Amino acid sequence: MADNPFTETARKAQAAPDRQGRNRDWWETKPMTYADWVAEDRLPKDEVDFLAIEEYVQRTGPWLQDWFERLEIAGQSCLDLGSGSGIFSTFLARHKATVTAMDLTQAGVELTRRTTRFFGVEAQVIRGDAERQPFGDDSFDFVYSWGVLHHTSNMDNALREVSRILKPGGRGMMMVYHKTSIVYYLHGMFWLIFRRKLFSGETLSSVQRFYTDGFYHRYLTKSDLGGLLRGAGLEVDAFHSTQYEKKILPVIPSWLDRALKKRFGMCLIAEFTKPRTEALGEKPL
């Protein structure tokens, strides 16, 4: 069987000399623009394309749209970690935050600059590695990362960096792929059984490379993610589960679809805080 877009891109990126270089090369080839993964020309060209990205994200992510409506970050310093298309940088800037957008790839940097410029918002856009972030300690009030950190080569390092650059009392929100999700098992069993990967020695974990974006890709449980965050010195404030607009199973009623997504959706979200520490003999607030 011919390579699909995920395995073909990973095969080409394998030539990079280091782990994070392979990650970078994958996303340079397939920047996140919400275009179909088989598309070669993925970059927005005009007003129609930029507005289509905004409309797609708002329409397919009702949970995220509600979260942004409640978000209060006016006047705060905010990092969009792994900015990709730049659309989330524009949402953060519209909430009157001082936004820094960082992406591992030059494609992401250029795309974020174009997107923020198109929507008329200000953001400092830089290229940088989530595992070695080019910021001083305690630099940001808020860190936002949607669908990024499960793709980095060393997630422990990336989360320790998030903790380092957050101010004491600073907050954050991140989304990763949810292992305790219906999609994880449905897709996995489809590839193992109907695509016969089981007979090639693949497992439910390894077969994800055939249908999941990125050179590296992890699916995590709440326990997995909570342990990683706490290990980095961050406190988990809340977990959420959600999924995009398309129904988990096409034949089920809408109320059941919403209930399943709330518990078994493919997006696992954590809201977290960097604890305040004692300083100059004072007790934590």
Q: For the residues 184-209, what does the mean pLDDT come to? A: 95
In a domain, 183, yes or no: yes
The pLDDT value given to residue 3:
65
By C-alpha distance, which of 105, 106, 161, 108 is closest to 133?
161
Query: Which pLDDT band holds residue 249 (cuts at 50, 70, 90)?
Result: confident
In a domain, 84, yes or no: yes
Which H or E run contains 95?
Answer: none
Encode pLDDT of 86-139 as tens digits.
Answer: 999 999 999 999 999 999 999 999 999 999 999 999 999 999 999 999 999 999
CA distance 9 to 5: 6
Average pLDDT, the chain: 94
In a domain, 263, yes or no: yes
The pLDDT value given to residue 267:
97
Interaxial angle between packed helices 87-94 and 106-118, expressed in degrees from 0 to 180 and rounded to the nearest 10 = 40
Q: How many other CB atoms are found less than 10 A from the CB of residue 8? A: 14
Query: Which pLDDT band holds residue 283 (cuts at 50, 70, 90)?
Result: very low
Contacting residues for 159 by C-beta, under 8 A, at least 6 apart: 149, 228, 229, 231, 232, 234
CA distance 86 to 82: 9
Q: Residue 205 belongs to a domain with what CATH number?
A: 3.40.50.150
In a domain, 38, yes or no: no
Query: Is the overall model pTM greater than 0.85, yes or no?
Result: yes
Choose between 151 and 250: higher pLDDT: 151
Contacting residues for 89 by C-beta, under 8 A, at least 6 apart: 80, 83, 99, 101, 112, 115, 116, 121, 123, 125
Q: What percent of the chain has pLDDT over 70?
A: 96
Encode pLDDT of 159-194 as tens digits.
Answer: 999 999 999 999 999 999 999 999 999 999 999 999
The pLDDT value given to residue 222:
98
Least reliable range by pLDDT among 71-80, 212-221, 240-249, 264-273? 240-249
In a domain, 237, yes or no: yes
Range of the domain at 221: 5-33+45-131+138-273
Q: How many domains does the chain have?
A: 1
